[in-house]
């Protein structure tokens, strides 16, 4: 073996040894690696749906400075293109008032939120909700901020509101911009917490909304039913009936939306529940009268609870990577809910209270944030996805990017509860493969997310779990939360990258070819 080639391989081994204990020794795999992945082989093209949309809580939260900072931070590192907000018509947005019997619309706060989003490079995935008090027909309200969820006796005022809103958006932002948005009718009408009406009344709401939007411009994209669960039979609630209704009424359906949370009644479902849900959903939509409709899962997480300790810990990162990798080709977006713990459905929480955000209220990134940051680095051609190894190629540059993760085989259902309790589950896993067809002498950045690196919750506990962290503590925790373990490894002069490392349970590794 020539000296230069030998030195390059020695650097790979040394770097790998520095990254993780238990690295597979060179002699064990160097000349006879059982798994070979061809970096120049045929790939399956796909869109990076995991960065398409992210949940963003309540619209009025967008008026806060820290909300905008966290959105921009998430956009910078995770690449989210759209954000979906609840309650754009809620009373705290002050969009409507009665002036001596005349309805007057006020779009000041709507404009402020949308202006900030668009300036940050994030488009609205518009959720048409909730009823302003003057339109709702009853006193029924939900959540501490009193979302009005009782449908009106008729939808004349609602239709006028939607029409005026759409016209205003086009006048302010232009049809070329607004035609790239999505308009989703309501949020989880199958859940009493968000809809104090019947299925038939929701269908009537959809008809009024879709008709109003298309009357303003046929280029506006509308969809639903934005339902919040899958049944025990594995079917998305209301989906089939919704499509049949729209076909019968000759209504447009540009996209179908739902929320495939992997839990029923608070109990975790099987580990592959999401991919099964998406397979079912694809089958229904493609066989429907709307086979070209996009599929957007506008909320998703390991659970819908805003007090699930799993959301703060390391294990959820490996779960996020697995679900997204297994969902390639099945969905146009799978929106993590949410980018911030400021998503305050039940009021503000402690620093780490199991909130659904990628970052907590103090803008400290969680392991889930790193999962999306690593996914954002992946290419758009899938080369390999099996046994915790996901390898992609970037179509334009031909760069290769891979994620490795160790989600223990002993885990059969979606992880929930205290994350630390899961560290004893599962075994270390050796990853041993050869990646061919890389650029000669290619350099790869390696990032490792584990229980000691990039794990904000551990850093917080090590700091004594301060109830109200001081400013300098917050800055230190932010830095520690971003500090994954880093190194570089090199391919050979013939463009072959040897990978041999052992991951502890729940570890996640990004291997990304340098441009």
Residues serving a catalytic function are 188
The structure tokens listed for 294 are 């996009």
CA 323 to chain centroid: 11
What are the C-alpha distances in Å from 114 to residues 107, 194, 246, 333, 499?
10, 24, 30, 21, 45
CA 162 to chain centroid: 27
Report which of 508, 341, 321 is spatially closest to residue 431, judged by C-alpha positions.
Answer: 508
CA 148 to chain centroid: 27
Task: Report the distance separating Cα 368 and Cα 355, nearest Å.
Answer: 11
Query: What CA dihedral angle connects 57, 364, 302 and 236, to 10 degrees?
Result: 20
Over the range 166-204, which residues count as b (16 or more CB within 10 Å of their CB) and which as e?
Answer: bebbbeebeeeebeebbbbbbbbbbbeebbbbebebbbb
By the 8 A CB rule, do 407 and 318 touch?
yes
Phi then psi dihedrals of residue 503, to 5 deg: -105, 140
CA 466 to chain centroid: 29
Task: Report the distance separating Cα 48 and Cα 480, nearest Å.
Answer: 28
DSSP 406: -
By the 8 A CB rule, do 348 and 360 touch?
no
CA 380 to chain centroid: 17
């Amino acid at each position: 073996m020539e000296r230069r080639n030998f030195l390059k391989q020695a650097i790979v081994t040394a770097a790998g040894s520095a990254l993780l204990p238990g690295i597979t020794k060179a002699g064990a795999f160097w000349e006879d690696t059982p798994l070979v992945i061809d970096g120049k082989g045929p790939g399956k093209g796909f869109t990076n749906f995991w960065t398409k949309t992210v949940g963003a809580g309540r619209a009025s939260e967008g008026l806060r400075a820290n909300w905008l900072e966290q959105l921009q931070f998430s956009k910078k590192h995770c690449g989210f293109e759209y954000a979906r907000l609840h309650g754009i018509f809620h009373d705290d947005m002050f969009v409507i008032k009665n002036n001596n019997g005349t309805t007057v619309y006020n779009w000041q706060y709507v404009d402020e939120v949308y202006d900030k989003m668009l300036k940050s490079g994030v488009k609205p995935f518009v959720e048409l909700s909730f009823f302003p008090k003057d339109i709702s027909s009853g006193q029924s309200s939900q959540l501490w901020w009193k979302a009005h969820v009782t449908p009106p006796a008729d939808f004349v005022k609602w239709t006028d509101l939607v029409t005026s809103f759409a016209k205003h958006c086009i006048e302010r932002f232009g049809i070329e911009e607004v035609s790239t948005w999505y308009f989703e009718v309501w949020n989880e009408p199958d859940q009493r917490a968000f809809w104090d009406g019947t299925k038939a009344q929701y269908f009537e709401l959809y008809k009024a909304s879709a008709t109003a939007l298309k009357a303003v411009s046929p280029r506006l994209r509308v969809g639903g039913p934005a339902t919040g669960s899958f049944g025990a039979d594995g079917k998305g609630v209301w989906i089939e009936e919704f499509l049949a209704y729209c076909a019968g009424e000759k209504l447009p359906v540009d996209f179908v939306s739902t929320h495939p949370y992997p839990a029923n009644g608070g109990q975790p479902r099987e580990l592959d529940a999401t991919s099964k849900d998406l397979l079912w959903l694809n089958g229904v939509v493609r066989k429907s009268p709307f086979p070209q409709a996009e599929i957007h899962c506008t909320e998703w997480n390991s659970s819908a609870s805003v007090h699930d300790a799993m959301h703060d810990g390391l294990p959820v990162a490996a779960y996020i990577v697995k679900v997204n990798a297994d969902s390639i080709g099945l969905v146009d977006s799978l929106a993590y809910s949410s980018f911030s713990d400021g998503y305050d459905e039940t009021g503000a929480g402690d620093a780490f209270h199991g909130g659904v955000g990628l970052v907590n209220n103090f803008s400290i990134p969680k392991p889930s944030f790193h999962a999306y940051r690593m996914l954002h680095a992946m290419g758009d051609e899938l080369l390999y996805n099996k046994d915790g190894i996901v390898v992609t190629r970037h179509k334009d540059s031909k760069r290769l990017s891979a994620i490795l993760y160790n989600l223990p085989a002993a885990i059969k259902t979606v992880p929930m509860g205290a994350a630390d309790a899961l560290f004893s589950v599962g075994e270390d896993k050796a990853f041993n493969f050869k990646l061919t067809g890389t650029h000669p002498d290619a350099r790869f950045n390696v990032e490792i997310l584990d229980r000691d690196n990039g794990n904000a919750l551990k850093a917080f506990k090590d700091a004594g779990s301060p109830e109200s962290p001081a400013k300098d503590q917050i800055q230190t925790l932010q830095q520690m939360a971003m500090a994954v373990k880093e190194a570089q490894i090199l391919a050979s002069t013939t463009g072959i990258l040897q990978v041999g490392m052992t991951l502890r349970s729940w570890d996640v590794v990004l291997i990304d070819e340098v441009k």
